[in-house]
């Protein structure tokens, strides 16, 4: 499982143009786990590899792997771990029906499983917002964002707060609330730099292209700093 863990770790700290490296390492784990004939282990490898494929922009392959992971999962806990990631990939690919189905089932399973950093109401709130935008339902996303997000029920990995800040900032921008978007995205830039998350800084840049030049410049400077540190 070393290749799987390495690939997942790289997926958090590499910039977008190098995320294929993370997908490469998680792919190596698939050949290993198949030899064990263990459905839970196979579902885990497929889930983590599928998520790295999504980050690398290989959305069709990501949806395929994550769908396999959901079908392979031997129990509710394992399936619940896949569905939020499948929803995220399906939304990014514009597959609205698959996205809606995955989000709906993920919510249904919340009462039956232990919460994790991805399986909890707060994470699903962010995934739902992002998927609504990606599938062309901006007004629905704005309405959904009007309800206060649920507080994280558990301690989550630092990148999840950054991810949520960017998504909600994007929704505020689409709603015409430049001030609110500026506050959220400025916080995202600060935290992404502090947590060394170049991919999230690049996501900020994409979110505000042509808008909020001060935030874009701050994200660009922060990304340049991280690139220098990575190169060193």
pLDDT tens-place string over residues 112-136: 999 998 999 999 999 999 999 999 9
Q: Domain locations in the chain? A: 159-232
**Which 3-state string (H, E, C) describes 140-182?**
HHHHHHHCCCCCCCCCCCHHHHHHHHHHHHHHHHHCCCHHHHH
Query: Which of 51, 53, 36 lies closest to 81 in space, CA to CA?
Result: 51
Token pair in block for residue 159: 């990148």
Distance CA 69, CA 19 (A): 21
Query: Which of 155, 95, 66, 167 lies closest to 124 in space, CA to CA?
Result: 167
Model pTM above 0.95: no
pLDDT tens column, 86-103: 999 999 999 999 999 999
Distance CA 162, CA 14 (A): 15
Distance CA 205, CA 218 (A): 9
**71-90 b/e with 16+ CB inside 10 Å = b?**
ebbeeeebbbbbbbbbbbbb
What residues have CB less than 8 Å from 54, skipping those under 6 apart? Answer: 62, 66, 85, 88, 89, 92
pLDDT tens column, 12-44: 545 555 666 666 667 777 777 777 778 988 999
End-to-end CA distance of the chain: 28
């Amino acid at each position: 499982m070393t290749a799987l863990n390495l690939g997942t770790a790289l997926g958090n700290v590499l910039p977008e143009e190098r995320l294929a490296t993370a997908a490469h390492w998680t792919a190596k784990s698939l050949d290993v786990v198949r030899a064990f004939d263990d459905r839970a282990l196979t579902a885990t490898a497929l889930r983590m590899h599928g998520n790295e494929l999504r980050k690398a922009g290989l959305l069709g392959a990501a949806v395929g792997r994550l769908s396999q992971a959901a079908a392979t999962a031997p129990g509710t806990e394992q399936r619940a771990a896949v569905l939020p990631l499948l929803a995220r990939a399906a939304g990014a690919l514009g597959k609205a029906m698959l996205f809606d189905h995955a989000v709906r089932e993920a919510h249904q399973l919340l009462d039956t499983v232990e919460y994790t950093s991805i399986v909890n109401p707060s994470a699903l709130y962010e995934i739902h917002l992002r998927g609504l935008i990606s599938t062309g339902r901006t007004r629905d996303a704005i309405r959904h964002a009007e309800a206060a997000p649920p507080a994280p029920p558990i301690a989550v990995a630092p990148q999840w707060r950054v991810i949520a800040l960017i998504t909600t900032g994007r929704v505020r921008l689409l709603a015409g609330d430049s001030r609110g978007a500026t506050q959220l995205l400025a916080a995202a830039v600060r935290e992404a730099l502090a947590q060394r998350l170049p991919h999230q800084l690049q996501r900020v840049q994409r979110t505000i292209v042509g808008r909020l030049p001060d935030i874009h410049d701050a994200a660009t400077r922060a990304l340049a700093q991280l690139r220098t540190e990575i190169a060193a």
